[in-house]
Structure 1
């Protein structure tokens, strides 16, 4: 999906490296076919292993910690959620010049949903709300802080910098004054009243799998932790049309302040992603443009 290097410090990964890693550490799978899985993901490379497994390898050092975190957390989350999530089958170690931990997961079938191409978005909105509600109800101890889970103000400097960068890219056509106004509204909204809740914290279309209009799996829990429940409202704007957005909100019982923070957080992510990925990850840039249109069209 990339047309260039997304991040500094990316480690080169190809089919041959994956075959060598598998053969050296899991020889029982050495004869299975290895095939790169096209993905808009920004932190990991994915390789299909045989018919029912997938190898996930961090592209950058920052993604390496996710492997051990998912190995520990996902088995405890799985029975508490209404939707399938990744199952770690084996944990690999650095070798063959590859510097970070990696893992083999059970393959989860399905397709990533596409904004504007959902056949029955109201059904998907209900499924997404059920998943988010189940995450919020989890009470497991020892929760980490979710990535992006802190106060909205913690995103202020990076968001404002992205708005100014987009002012210098007029071909993107972003109404930067309108974006700044929506962001300012999010900053003014009352903060979370109550304890933090468990969050997936990265509910992008690329981390969702569907069969038709029904949610079948949620993947990539690298941002997992506790924080502001507004963080898991991303699908309202990065995926769902306006009528399904309303269903999603009503199913979760979202109050005005949380909704405004959620909209601001989703816009912030898109504003930051667009200039960063516009030349290296077309899918991420495309979704960022969709979010900006959806949010500013609603404001």
Structure 2
């Protein structure tokens, strides 16, 4: 089942043809699809050291190229400041072989994603996660500000989206979500004031974007969204990735005050509300992740 109604189909044969025609130096490498709960790109490995990412939803090719170039610059910038391994941009491909948009190639990182090797009970993992977030914050924005894209600005600007999420969630299986209670919670979250300047942020620290070895952080994926945002944005990781004890370790290590912590919870809430209903049938693991995050948030407010 596809994840989006307008999703572009990407096959191994298509990828192999694109590699052969555009990057013949890699034409002898094995091409393998990567099973993933990711929702933005189809991912294929190229040999052992590279991966190719193909946007799933169709947009104008020129617009897609600008997005990929922006993501490549952001990924390269994050790689220079991260204390943990991250993928680095290698090349951009052109449309062809039946695929209508540009696509990207980056280095491949070994490891197990956190949704498969759950580190949620590890204090050491929480400390690593805090160290990653702190290093991004310390990099400085160089005068840049949040660009208004997606999460990371004003909570109340997401009211329309949240209304849709509540309406769609009411149509899920009876009893799956306590929508009236969730509406009340958002009414409180949306009023939380913003008092701190932007910092550099990963922007999407969910289990599928975090690599684990043992109970430690071994790498971070999907770095193309690196940019200035609310300092609370990367605190979504506390709710997506951690149980209460390690969550408190993260908070203490980053010295979060009450307002910043609540805003982080609010951003996690906004993200989780969307993925629960949108991916209920097309991507059940993603939907379950969102549901677990909501459960953690609700437990913390009782």
TM-score by length of 1: 0.92
State which drifts further: 113-122 or 150-159.
113-122
Report the more deviating stretch, 241-250 or 97-106: 97-106
Q: Which residue of 2 aligns with 1:178?
A: 181
- How far did 1:216 drift? 1.3
Deviates more, 1:114-123 or 1:142-151: 114-123
Unmatched 5+ residue regions in structure 2? Answer: none
Partner deviation per Cα, 1:106-136 (whole Å, 9 max, x = no partner)? 1100011138943751111111111111111
Cα distance change, pair 130–60 in 1 and its aligned pair in 2 (3 A): same
Cα pair 2:165 2:273 within 8 Å, conserved: yes
Q: Measure, in 2, the Cα distance between the counterparts of 1:181 and 1:92.
A: 46
Report the alpha carbon displacement of residue 286 of structure 1 after superposing the two structures with TM.
Answer: 1.1
* 8 Å contact kept, 1:116–1:241: no
Q: Which residue of 2 aligns with 1:49?
A: 46
State the match for 2:159 in structure 1.
156
CA distance in 2, matches of 1:143, 1:46: 30
Find the partner of 2:196 among 191, 194, 197.
194
In structure 2, the residue matched to 1:92 is 93
Correspondence list, 1:8-27, <5 A: 8-27=5-24
How far apart, CA to CA, are the structure 2 residues paired with 1:115 and 1:237?
A: 17
Query: Which moved further from structure 2: 20-29 or 254-263?
Result: 254-263
Q: What secondary structure, in the 3-state scheme, does the structure 2 residue paired with 1:171 have? A: coil
Q: Show the counterpart of 1:126.
A: 127
**Residues in 2 aligned to 1:59 and 1:217: alpha-carbon distance in whole angstroms:** 24
In structure 1, the residue corresponding to 2:222 is in which secondary structure?
coil
**Where do residues 1-299 of structure 1 align in structure 2 (5 Å cutoff)?**
4-61=1-58, 64=64, 65-114=66-115, 117-118=118-119, 121-141=122-142, 142=144, 145=147, 147-171=150-174, 173-191=176-194, 193-299=195-301
Pair 254,61 (structure 1): closer, same or farther in 2 beyond 3 Å = farther
Unaligned runs of 5+ in 1: none
Normalising by structure 2, we get a TM-score of 0.91
Give the superposition deviation at 1:87.
1.1
Shift of 1:81: 1.3
RMSD: 2.0
1-structure distance, mates of 2:155, 2:141: 25
Change (3 A) 1:180 1:144: closer
